[in-house]
Amino acid sequence: MAPSSPQAPQTAANAPFTGRRRKVSSHLSQNEALLFEKSSPGKAAYRLPPLDVPEADAAALLGDSLREDAGLLPELSEIEIVRHFTRLSTWNYAIDLGMYPLGSCTMKYNPRVNELVARLEGIADSHPYQPESLSQGVLGIQRLLQKCLLEITGMDAITLQPAAGAHGEMTGILLTRAYHESRGNPRSKILIPDSAHGTNPATAAICGYRVENLRSNSLGMVDVGQLERIVTEDTAALMLTNPSTIGVFESEIHKIADILHAKGALLYMDGANMNALVGKVRPGDFGVDVMHLNLHKTFSTPHGGGGPGSGPVAAKAILEPFLPTPVLVEDPADGGRPATLRFDYSRPHSIGRVRMFYGNFGMFVRALAYILANGPDGLRQTTEDAVLNANYLRRKLEDAYELPYKTPTLHEVVFSDRRQARHGVKTGDIAKRLIDYGFHPYTTSFPLIVPGALMIEPTESESKEELDLFVDAMRQIAREVEENPEMALRAPHSTRISRLDEVTAAQIGRAPCRVRA
């Protein structure tokens, strides 16, 4: 499909949202050549003073290590480089620009106090090779974060090593495997509901388990009867997301845990949706044996662009012997010597290291700053606001978009494109049209139990004013689809690139399309 040019004159048909955003600013170039294309020989961003020592021959000094392609670097002035990158940065969408309603991702605002604390000299400049005796402060930060996370989850032991949620899943299932092995048999299968995130079955498979699919019932929850029938002495664990990916709390979670435990199986909780639970209920209290947290979701550390993230794994005491090494321990005060923190490397039952050094320390600092800045009441309020915001959107949009599950939802809401699909418009088209209205798209086509899903998670970061703008945009798109489906089918109209060849883009990791002249 030939996408329309962003420079095309605006007509009533392609006029974007007339609200606060989306004024086309003419001084902003949407065509930016590569630095290599702008290069002209001899230009440089600096000028060195004349040599006051004899000139040396680089080739003679460096030999084979002299790069022969160094001459291919672009040659530009400093301001050309600065403008190039500054212009590119304006093409980004970011949480600091507007709402980012990607369901299941909890794209909340990263408060500036997190950044302030993470940049403090003693914290930012600490080095992992620094001796423990000189690292008591940064070890204390890790210790305090561990304590807070254990309090929030109601678990007994924790590792901060994993670098993200999926990595936490792998760590948690390796712990599960080590636990069963220590009892004589690793067992062979892991149960996973059909609403699960794709990383769950990938994790189970990578840890050597066979995946058995658990069908959701009409409420979008685990079918407890079916679970009871298929759990056997060969089941290692159930991997459960609670609340589920359609935002529904598993109201029979105690019963689910009991069914598993009766057969010696463990309950793994995918904690990606903890933003619906913090300060209200604790997984450790409702039967969970092991879980991961996504600090970059629930605890506001920066998110997107590929990381770094952090996916701590919290577990019950039965799994503690298997935690990744090293484990942070505290030697109590002794006589005149104060209590000291150190890493314990002699853990004979450990699954081993899962990450170099101790994990993504900068994220620990930000998460702890967020937790302490909010305090227990603030965290509880955050959860309540996240749930309120999602339910506000649900109420405001449920007559425009199909709501496949009527079950009460918590921090996110999942609609389907059923009504719009009658006009040939799919969830991906609506998402692309949303870009023209100045919003980042919601999550499309996930979870798989909802065909044509629109998965929306506003988080507590958004004000009612921002939510209302989003509602206006979504309702206007729904109307537009009835009257002129082409608008969504050809969207986005306001970006420099319209429709990508998504398969090729995903396969080679970069868009094959060229900028339109």
Instruction: Kindly tell me which of 110 and 241 has the beta carbon lying closer to ligand PLP.
Output: 241
Amino acid type, 327: V
Three-state SS letters, 154-222: CCCEEECCCCCHHHHHHHHHHHHHHHHHHCCCCCCEEEEECCCCCHHHHHHHHCCCEEEEECECCCCCE
Q: Which range of residues in 37-45, 113-121, 133-141, 158-166 is near ligand PLP by CB under 6 A?
A: 158-166
* Choice between 102 and 260, CB closer to ligand PLP: 102
Phi-psi region of 445 (alpha: psi -120 to 50; beta: other; left: phi over 0): left
Closest contact distance (angstroms) between CB of 104 and ligand PLP is: 4
Say whether residue 104 binds ligand PLP (CB under 6 A): yes
Shorter beta-carbon distance to ligand PLP: residue 165 or 441: 165
Q: How far is the CB of 314 from ligand PLP (least distance, A)?
A: 15
Q: Which two tokens stand for residue 58?
A: 């680089």
Residues of span 448-467 touching ligand PLP by CB under 6 A: none
Which CB, 8 or 448, lies closer to ligand PLP?
448
E strands of 233-321, at which residues?
235-241, 266-270, 290-292, 313-315
State how far the Cα of 488 lies from the Cα of 477, in Å rounded to an integer.
8
CB of 362 to ligand PLP, least distance (A): 16
User: Between 106 and 145, how does the x/- string for binding to ligand PLP read (CB under 6 A)?
Assistant: ----------------------------------------
Binding window for ligand PLP (CB under 6 A); candidates: 162-170, 258-266, 482-490, 506-514: 162-170
Residue 160 and residue 141: Cα distance in Å, rounded? Answer: 12
Residues 279-298 that bind ligand PLP (CB under 6 A): 294
Q: Does the CA dihedral 481-487-489-493 come out positive or negative?
A: negative
* Dihedral sign, Cα of residue 99, residue 105, residue 505, residue 470: negative
| Nearer residue to ligand PLP within complex by CB, 107 or 473 | 107
Closer to ligand PLP by CB, 412 or 429: give it. Answer: 412
Nearer residue to ligand PLP within complex by CB, 161 or 199: 199
**Whose CA is closest to 307, among 163, 150, 206, 184?**
163
Residue nearest to ligand PLP (CB): 165
Q: Where are the beta strands (DSSP E) in 63-186?
A: 157-159
Q: Which is nearer to ligand PLP, 245 or 416 (CB)?
A: 245
Backbone angles phi, psi at 500, to 5 degrees: -90, 160
Name the CA dihedral angle for 467, 472, 475, 476, rounded to a multiple of 10 degrees. -150
What is the Cα–Cα distance from 118 to 115, expressed in whole angstroms? Answer: 5
Of residues 310 through 369, those in contact with ligand PLP by CB under 6 A are 311
Please identify, among the stretches 39-47, 126-134, 163-171, 491-499, the one whose residues bind ligand PLP according to the rule CB under 6 A: 163-171
Instruction: At 192, give phi and psi (nearest 5°).
Output: -140, 125
Taking CB under 6 A as the criterion, the residue among 220, 309, 359, 441 binding ligand PLP is 309
Q: Which of 101, 165, 172, 243 binds ligand PLP (CB under 6 A)?
A: 165
- Which residue, 197 or 366, is less far from ligand PLP as judged by CB? 197
Residues 365-424 contacting ligand PLP, CB under 6 A? none
Q: Tokens for 351?
A: 């699954």
Which residues, numbered 173-202, are part of the site for ligand PLP (CB under 6 A)?
197, 199
User: How near is the Cβ of 382 to ligand PLP at its closest, in Å?
Assistant: 18
Which residue has 């589920």 as its token pair? 244
Q: Which is nearer to ligand PLP, 307 or 512 (CB)?
A: 307
Retrieve residue 193's tokens: 């509901």
In this structure, how many other beta carbons lie within 10 angstroms of the beta carbon of residue 61? 9
Least distance (Å) from ligand PLP to the CB of residue 198? 8
Binding mask 240-279 for ligand PLP (x = CB under 6 A): -x---x------------------------x-x-------
HSE of 356 in the Cβ direction (CA atoms, 13 Å)?
3
Taking the least distance from each CB to ligand PLP, the nearer of 360 and 494 is 360
By beta-carbon proximity to ligand PLP, the closer residue of 300 and 498 is: 300
Q: How far is the CB of 448 from ligand PLP (least distance, A)?
A: 12
Find the part of the chain contacting ligand PLP (CB under 6 A) among 69-77, 160-168, 406-414, 431-439. 160-168
- With a CB cutoff of 8 Å and minimum separation 6, the contacts of 366 are 110, 114, 115, 117, 118, 295, 299, 300, 301, 302
Smallest separation (angstroms) from ligand PLP to the CB of 292: 8
d(CA 283, CA 266): 13
One DSSP character per residue, 360-407 reads -HHHHHHHHHHHHHHHHHHHHHHHHHHHHHHHHHHHHHTTTSB-S--S
Q: Which is nearer to ligand PLP, 197 or 493 (CB)?
A: 197
**Total residues at the site for ligand PLP (CB under 6 A)?**
13
Residue ranges binding ligand PLP (CB under 6 A): 104, 164-166, 197, 199, 241, 245, 270, 272, 294, 309, 311
